[in-house]
Amino acid sequence: METKSESSAAARHYHHCPQCKARLKRVYSKKRERWYWHCPPESGCDAWYADRDGEPVLRPVRRSEPVDGVQCPECGEAMVWVEGGRYGPFWSCSTRRETNCPGVRDCLDPERGAVAGNVSPNCPVDPDHGPMRRRDGVNGVFFGCRKYPDCDATINFEDMITDAEAADGAGV
């Protein structure tokens, strides 16, 4: 039987938490102006997932505590290690939630990511293409493959960090 909150077409389409199997709720963050999926706290899980076209991205994202000695290339604050993002693990500025600092560092492993200057994701088409080049486009920051025009892979910055924000609980 349908309840009021389940009367929309989107809500009839159920999704379950891959970690605890509870039914996820789609919630809107006014702060982020974006949808997220939340595993109800009463399940003891409280996991958050990013939303992509009305569907949850069912990949758990985990953040470390801020790591001393790994500094944000934009603001100099400590960074956090984020796992589970769609483009692999990366470092993200620990102040991002409060300041919207765009500081990220790519890496396939924490040690490599800590190297100064390595501040972009690797090419998602072929990791051998190496760290992408950060660019400012008319629609905001994005990363383009260094092998362009042989490889036209790009990563939108907002896509890259959406998963990481889901791990923050989105500040809903």
Binding site for Zn ion (CB under 5 A): 17, 19-20, 22, 39, 45, 47, 72, 74-75, 93, 101, 103, 123, 125, 129, 145, 147, 151, 153
Return left, alpha or beta for 151; rule: phi > 0 is left, psi -120 to 50 is alpha, else beta.
beta
State in angstroms the smallest separation of the CB of 45 from Zn ion. 3
17 or 162: whose CB is closer to Zn ion?
17
The one-character DSSP state at 125 is S
Residues 133-161 as b/e (b if ≥16 CB within 10 A, e otherwise) read ebeeeeeeebbbbebeeebebbbebeebb
| Nearest distance in Å: CB 107, Zn ion | 16
Q: Which is nearer to Zn ion, 11 or 58 (CB)?
A: 58
Bridging pattern class, strands 34-38 and 55-57 = unpaired
Nearer to Zn ion, 73 or 89 (CB): 73
Q: Which is nearer to Zn ion, 72 or 167 (CB)?
A: 72
Smallest gap from residue 57 Cβ to Zn ion (A): 14
Q: DSSP class of residue 84?
A: S
Rounded to a whole number of angstroms, the minimum distance from the CB of residue 153 to Zn ion is: 4
Buried-state track 49-61, b at ≥16 Cβ within 10 A, e below 16: bbbeeeebbeebb
